Chain A
Amino acid sequence: MEHIRTPKVENVHMIDRLTPRKSTAGTLYLSSTHTIFVENSEARKETWVLHSLVYNVERLPTNPSGSPLLIRCKNFHVYRLLIPQEKDCLDVLASLTRLSRPECYGELFCFSFNPNLDKELREKAWGFIDLKAEFSRMGIPSNLWHVTAANHEYRLCETYPSELFVPKSAFPAVIVGSAKFRSRGRLPVLSYFHRDTSASICRSSQPLSGFSARSADDEQMLHAIMKSNPVSELMYVVDTRPKLNAMANRATGKGYENEDHYTNIKLQFVGIENIHVMRSSQQKLVDVGELPAPSMSDFLWGLENSGWLKHIKAVLDAGVFIAKAVAEDGVSVLVHCSDGWDRTAQACSLASVLLDPYYRTIKGLMVLIEKDWVSFGHKFSHRYAHLDGDPKEVSPVMDQFLECVWQLMQQFPCAFEFNERFLIQLHTHIYSCQYGNFIGNCQKERRDLRLQERTHSLWPHLWENRAEYTNPLYRTDHSQTQGVLKPLTTAYCFKFWKGMYGHADKSVASHQSPADCLNAVREESQQLEEELSAHQERLAQLKEKKTSGGRKKTNKLSERVRRPIPIESKLSSPLDYFTATRSEKHSPSFTLPLELAAPPKNGDPDDLSTCSDFESGVADLSSHSSSAGDDTKDHDSDEAVKSNT
Chain B
Amino acid sequence: MELSEHIKTANVEDVTLRRPFHPALRGTLCVTSHHLLFSNRKDEASWQLLILLKNIDAIEKRAVGSSGTITIKCKDLLVLQLEIPGMEECLNIASSIEALSSLESVTEMYPFFYRPSHLTLLGPWGLSTTEQYYKQTERLWDRWRVSKVNSDYSVCPSYPSAVIVPREVDDDKLIRSARFRQGGRFPVLSYCHHSNGMVIMRSSQPLTGANKKRCKEDELLLQAVIDGSELGYIIDLRSAQQAQQARMTGGGFESKSCYRHWKRIHRHHERGKVVQESLIKLVEACSDLSHSVDRWLSKLENSKWLSHVHSALSTAGLVVECVERDGHSVLVHGSEGTDNTLLVSSLAQIILDPASRTVTGFLCLLEREWIQAGHPFQQRCAHSAYSHARLKQECPSFLLLLDCVWQVWRQFPLALEFSEALLLRLAQEVYASNYGTFLCNNEQERCAAGVKENTHCLFQSMLKPDIEEQYLNPLYEPTDLAIWPSVHPQSLQLWTGMFLRWTEYAQNMEEAREEVWSIVKEHRERV
The yes or no verdict on A and B being binding partners is: yes
Residues of A within 8 A of B (CB): 18, 289, 294-301, 303-304, 307, 309-310, 313, 411-414, 472-473, 475, 478-480, 488, 490-496, 498, 501-502, 504-505, 507-508, 511-514, 517-518, 521-522, 524-525, 528-529, 565, 567-568, 571-578, 580-581, 615, 617-618, 621-622, 624-625, 629, 636, 639-640
Query: Which residues of chain B in 479-508 are interfacial with respect to chain A, using CB atoms and an 8 Å cutoff?
Result: 479-484, 486-494, 496, 500, 503-505, 508
- How far apart are B490's CB and chain A's nearest CB, in angstroms? 5
| Residue-wise interface mask of B (259-294) relative to A, using a CB-CB cutoff of 8 A (1 in contact, 0 not) | 000000001000000000000000000100101111
Asked whether A295 and B489 contact (CB < 8 A) given A512-B413, A629-B477, the answer is yes
Q: Please give me the 3 A-B residue pairs with the lowest Cβ-Cβ distance, nearest first.
A: A299-B489, A491-B296, A300-B301
Interface of B (DSSP majority class):
helix
B519: Cβ under 8 A from any A Cβ? yes
* Residue B411 at the chain A interface, CB threshold 8 Å: yes
- Is B258 located at the chain interface by the 8 A CB criterion? no
Contacts of A513 in B (CB 8 A): 413
- Give Cα A615 to B486, complex, Å: 16
Q: Taking CB as reference atom, which chain A residue is nearest B410? A: A511
Q: Can you list 25 A-B contacts (CB < 8 A)? A: A18-B488, A296-B306, A296-B492, A413-B509, A414-B515, A480-B511, A491-B296, A502-B490, A507-B488, A512-B411, A514-B414, A521-B523, A522-B519, A524-B523, A528-B527, A565-B477, A567-B479, A568-B479, A573-B484, A574-B325, A577-B315, A577-B321, A578-B321, A625-B479, A625-B481
A18 to chain B minimum Cβ distance, whole angstroms, is: 8
Q: Which of B294, B318, B520 contacts A310 (CB 8 A)?
A: B294
Q: A491-B296, A511-B411 are in contact. Are A498 and B520 (CB under 8 A)?
A: no
Contact of B477 among A490, A567, A618 (CB under 8 A): A567
Kindly state whether residue B300 has any CB partner on chain A within 8 Å: yes
Q: Are the CB atoms of A491 and B291 closer together than 8 Å?
A: yes
Q: Across the interface, which residues of B come within 8 angstroms of A414, CB to CB? A: 508, 511-512, 515
Q: Which of A301, A307, A512, A629 contacts B412 (CB 8 A)?
A: A512
Q: Is the CB of A572 within 8 A of B301?
A: no
B285-313 near A? 1/0 per residue, CB < 8 Å: 01001011111111011001011011100
Q: Is B526 an interface residue (CB 8 A)?
A: yes
A592 to chain B, nearest CB (A): 13
Choice from A493, A501, A615 contacting B505 with Cβ under 8 Å: A493
B147 contacts A by Cβ under 8 Å: no
Q: Which of these, A578, A621, A639, contacts B527 with CB under 8 Å?
A: A639
Chain B interface extent, by class? 35 or more
Bound: A480/B504 CA distance, A: 13
Query: Is there a chain A Cβ closer than 8 Å to B142's Cβ?
Result: no
Say yes or no: B512 contacts A413, CB within 8 Å: yes
A307 touches B294 (CB 8 A): yes
Residues of B within 8 A of A578 (CB): 318, 321
Of B293, B315, B492, B503, most buried by chain A (CB within 10 Å of CB) is B293
A309 with B522: in contact, given A495-B493, A512-B413, A577-B318 (CB under 8 Å)?
Answer: no
Task: Determine whether the beta carbon of A505 is less than 8 Å from that of B523.
Answer: no
Chain A residues with Cβ under 8 A from B475's Cβ? 514, 517-518
Give the distance to chain B from A457, nearest Cβ to Cβ, in Å: 33
Q: In the complex, which of the residues B309, B491, B494, B520 contacts A508, with contact meaning CB atoms closer than 8 Å?
A: B491
Check A640 against B480 for contact (C-beta < 8 Å). Answer: no
Shortest B43–chain A CB gap in Å is 25
Give the distance in Å from the alpha carbon of A579 to the alpha carbon of B90 in the complex. 58
- In the bound complex, what is the Cα–Cα distance between A493 and B291 (angstroms)? 11
Give the A-binding residues of B (Cβ under 8 A). 195, 267, 286, 289, 291-298, 300-301, 304, 306-307, 309-311, 314-315, 317-318, 320-321, 324-325, 411-415, 475, 477, 479-484, 486-494, 496, 500, 503-505, 508-509, 511-512, 515-516, 519-520, 522-523, 526-527
A296 vs B486: C-alpha distance when bound (angstroms): 13
Partner of B481, one of A522, A572, A577: A572
Report which of B296, B490, B526 forms a contact with A496, defined as CB distance below 8 A.
Answer: B490
**Is A525 in contact with B297, judged by CB distance below 8 angstroms?**
no
Contact B483 A571 (CB under 8 A): yes
A503 to B481 Cα, complex, angstroms: 24
The distance in angstroms between the C-alpha atoms of A622 and B482, with both chains bound, is 10
A502→B482 CA distance, assembly (Å): 23
* Cα separation A578 to B479 with both chains bound (whole Å): 25
For residue A301, which residues in chain B have a CB less than 8 angstroms away from its CB? Answer: 298, 301
Q: How distant is the Cα of A504 from the Cα of B490 in the complex, in angstroms?
A: 10
Q: Are the CB atoms of B522 and A525 closer together than 8 Å?
A: yes
Q: How far is the CA of A309 from the CA of B411 in the complex (A)?
A: 23
CA distance A18 to B486 in the complex (A): 11
Contact of B292 among A289, A475, A491, A615 (CB under 8 A): A491
Q: Which residues of A contact B523 (CB under 8 A)?
A: 521-522, 524-525
Asked whether, in the complex, the Cβ of A297 is within 8 Å of the Cβ of B307, the reply is: yes
Q: Which residues of the partner chain A approach B492 to less than 8 Å between Cβ atoms?
A: 296
Whether B526 lies near A505 (C-beta < 8 A) is: no
Residues of B within 8 A of A618 (CB): 481-482
Complex alpha-carbon distance, A593 and B502, angstroms: 41
Q: How far is A309 from B414 in the complex, measured between Cα atoms in Å?
A: 30
Complex CA–CA separation, A478 to B511 (angstroms): 9
A-side contacts of B289, CB under 8 Å: 490
Residues of A within 8 A of B413 (CB): 512-514, 517
Cα A193 to Cα B411 with chains together (Å): 42
Q: Give the contacting residue for B484; candidates A491, A494, A574; CB below 8 A.
A: A574
A572–B477 contact, CB under 8 A?
no
- Residues B490 and A498 in contact, CB atoms below 8 Å apart: yes
Query: Closest approach, in angstroms, between the C-beta of A407 and any C-beta of chain B?
Result: 11
Collect the chain A residues with CB atoms within 8 Å of residue B516's CB: 473, 514, 518
Least CB distance, B172 to chain A, in whole angstroms: 38
Report A480 CB to chain B, min CB distance, Å: 6
Q: A502-B488, A574-B482, A581-B267 are in contact. List 7 more A-B contacts (CB 8 A).
A: A299-B489, A300-B306, A491-B292, A492-B496, A512-B415, A571-B483, A574-B325
Contacts A295-B310, A300-B306, A629-B477 given; indicate if A475 touches B491 (C-beta within 8 A): no
